[in-house]
Amino acid sequence: MAAGTGAAPAVSTLSGDDGLAGRRVLLIVGGGIAAYKALDLIRRLRERGASVRAVMTASAKHFVTPLAVASLTGERVHDELFSLTEEAEMGHIELSRSADLILVAPATANLMAKIAQGLADDLASTLLLATDTRVLLAPAMNLRMWLHPATRRNAALLAADGVLTVGPGEGVMACGEFGPGRMAEPLEIVAAAARALADGTAIPLPDTSLAKDASPLKQSAPVAAVSPPSGAGAASLRGRRVVVTSGPTHEPIDPVRYIANRSSGRQGHAIAAAAAAAGAEVVLVSGPVALPDPRGVAVVRVETARDMLAAVEAALPADLFVAAAAVADWRPQAAADLKIKKRDGAPEPVLQLDRNPDILAAVAGRREGRPRLVVGFAAETDALLDHAAAKLARKNCDLLVANDVGAGSDVMGGAENAVHLLTRTDGAPRVEAWPRLDKAEVAHRLVARFAAMLDGGRA
């Protein structure tokens, strides 16, 4: 059965050479809450001159109507494998052959599993099995479904089969959880479609296993590089207490000004969320951030470094302490009670600074009540591994996560991170270079590592 439509609404074609003009896109709409974004996606594709035909799964029609889709494509919506009219013409073959690109958005966990395993029990899965046309997926699902080993295996199979992907991103889900699994935004999908048609590439699907080949270590440092393990495995922190710091601190100069840094808190919050998902009791001590509280996490909000230290000490004892916050190293000796004014002829104010307490060193150096595992972070602008190795030894932590925030880096405040892990050994620290990943994926892998270390496994 196909839903009919009248003439499609007029769509103005945007100028620009992005390779979509005149191209034929077959859009498969899966059955997820993100299906409503398919309507905007159709508009965006047609604005760029692409023609769009649509296939809807039975579940998709619970979220968006075939009539709405048909009114935007100007074409019938196809939703039945056993339509006598269409199958007399081998409809599922014709649909795939007539397209330059097959775009699946949203690609649900169920659809991904069907494609990966070669199932063909409805129109969408059958035409995907019967095609040699380039396929681009925009995954969308609950973060627990996205991180489930079965979904990760299916994602790896799809990547090996040459299926392209865009996303998913991280954010607050419809269920209220925070993490990876949100469908990419329509404009991101359009850009990925243009790339796929131009050169057969899209945004790589996050991999569940750590990179088998560590990237070259450009800095000279007294460290021995090793490859990360082939898979993070299922992490469990059940019965563990975890304290995480996140975000920046604000050190007041006067009532309206303060010393701070560019930290968004996204990595620290993602670690807290991943630890809670792994079964831990989590306390998140957060500086000022514009992020929702991770689900299932006790959040303590602070402003200054001294506030953060007090909150951390109050949250101890713990099995694991993760110092992911970007704590200000200095604070003004005295904050002005009133706003400091500019006055013509007056001398420029001089800011006298005092050193802030070192939270990581204070926790790692505790004689009593030291967490079994203390993890630090190092954000460096140069000589990353040299500085990180020195910090690992100086702070007496067990593991250090280092990232490069030098000129041109978008790590601070961005959605992705590229980290090096430094682990204490009897000799030089062991170093692992991880690929650039979504911060939620970095958090998932870090939590798997923490769980293994607490269970007595290899660091």
- In this structure, the strands spanning 353-355 and 281-286 are unpaired
> Which residues make up each annotated binding site?
329, 339, 357-360, 377, 391, 395
- In this structure, the strands spanning 169-172 and 241-246 are unpaired
Neighbours of 187 (CB within 10 A): 11
Query: Are 418 and 404 within 8 A, CB to CB?
Result: yes
Cite the DSSP H helix spans in 24-136. 37-47, 66-73, 84-88, 91-97, 109-117, 123-129
In the chain, which residues fall in CATH 3.40.50.1950? 2-199
Q: Give the residue carrying structure tokens 């005149």.
A: 22
pLDDT digits (tens, 9 = 90+) for 2-37: 455 444 444 433 434 467 889 999 999 999 889 999
CATH H superfamily, domain 224-332+348-454: CoaB-like (3.40.50.10300)
pLDDT digits (tens, 9 = 90+) for 433-445: 888 888 888 999 9
Kindly name the residue from 175, 224, 340, 353 that is annotated as catalytic.
Answer: 175
pLDDT at 389 over 60: yes
Q: What is the mean pLDDT of residues 230-241?
A: 68
Residue with the larger pLDDT of the pair 412 and 155:
155
In the chain, which residues fall in CATH 3.40.50.10300? 224-332+348-454
Query: Are 154 and 205 within 8 A, CB to CB?
Result: no
CATH H superfamily, domain 2-199: Flavin prenyltransferase-like (3.40.50.1950)
pLDDT at 91 over 60: no
User: What's the residue count for the chain?
Assistant: 459
pLDDT digits (tens, 9 = 90+) for 405-429: 776 666 776 778 889 999 987 777 8
pTM: 0.52
Question: In Å, what is the CA distance from 154 to each residue of 95, 139, 143, 208, 281?
Answer: 25, 12, 15, 11, 31
Neighbours of 87 (CB within 10 A): 15
In eight-state DSSP terms, residue 330 is E
pLDDT at 253 over 80: yes
Q: Smallest Cα–Cα separation from 123: which of 101, 91, 99, 163? A: 91
What was the pLDDT predicted at 270? 92
One-character DSSP codes across 113-137: HHHHHT--SSHHHHHHHT--S-EEE
Q: What is the mean pLDDT of the chain?
A: 82
Give burial (CB, 10 Å; 0-12/13-18/19+) of 306.
middle
pLDDT at 361 over 90: yes
What was the pLDDT predicted at 342? 85
What was the pLDDT predicted at 380? 83
pLDDT at 179 over 90: no
Lowest mean pLDDT among 147-151, 169-173, 302-306: 169-173
What was the pLDDT predicted at 11? 41
**Residue 175 appears among annotated catalytic residues:** yes
What was the pLDDT predicted at 271? 95
pLDDT at 245 over 90: yes
Question: In Å, what is the CA distance from 443 to each residue of 222, 272, 437?
Answer: 27, 8, 10
What was the pLDDT predicted at 457? 52
